[in-house]
A = this chain, B = another copy of it.
Amino acid sequence: MPEPQPAVDEAIAAIVQAISDIEGPLPPKKRAIVEQAVLTFAEKGFDAASTKEIAQRAGVAEATIFRHFATKEDLLLRLVQPVVSRVVVPAATEQFERVMAAEKGRVEDVLRVVLKERLGVIRRFAPLIRILIQEIPFRPELQKVLFSQIPAGLGGALAMMQREMDSGRMRREPPTRIARWIASLFGGYFIASTIFAPGPGWDDDAEVDALVGVLAHGILKVSDGDGPQA
């Protein structure tokens, strides 16, 4: 009987909350299934996590899982979908606009605030995100959910970038490319700090500051003639 770490516990509470928001309050056994499914998927991956083990850890009969979830894949999707579609993405959109107004559109400040807040949100769902990353390549359902939501979440950001380029404060680049850079740096940090080398020793605030710094100004010092002429 493995002890869930507090961090995971918190993540699970958030996931349960997200599901409850959609489906209404969860009966206790269903809730237990959700909790243990997240834990087990995160520990072993989707394929290696058997419904038998999930049932045992949740203290229910295996058949009970299938009362609540049509198939094992359905269980996965019902865990991941609400997180993606109701928590991660919409918050991003809404929050982006709010921050932009407050910060008067200074790109670096906006990025800094948004990324820090996003990092907080994502950290709460870390176990599920790990599963998400694992399973996306082979599950068209997941791809659909994710890619249909991402553009919406990006709308505000793309608009901001376009405005900055038009006003000459930002170099001209395809906005999706810039979005990819941001996502890469952000995701790279998240993966490094969560999956490859989890544990203490990471300072989220400092890392995001540095990340925004390099995005804004690069790693080289400014010197005459060194800047790109575009």
Contacts and interface: CB of A to CB of B under 8 A. Distances in A.
Nearest to A43: B138
A45 B181 contact: no
A interface secondary structure, majority: helix
Given A177-B210, A185-B181, A188-B181, A220 B48 contact: no
Interface stretch (A6-14, A17-25, A96-104, A211-219): A211-219
A222 B187 CA distance: 27
Say how many copies of this protein the assembly contains.
Answer: 4
A56 interface: no
Interface stretch (A76-84, A116-124, A168-176): A168-176
A221 interface: yes
Interface residues of A, number: 44
A195 B187 CA distance: 15
Which of A107, A171, A218 has its CB near the most chain B CB atoms (within 10 A)?
Answer: A218
A222 B228 CA distance: 9
Given A185-B185, A188-B180, A213-B228, A219 B173 contact: yes
B228 A169 contact: no
A134 interface: yes
B107 A220 contact: yes
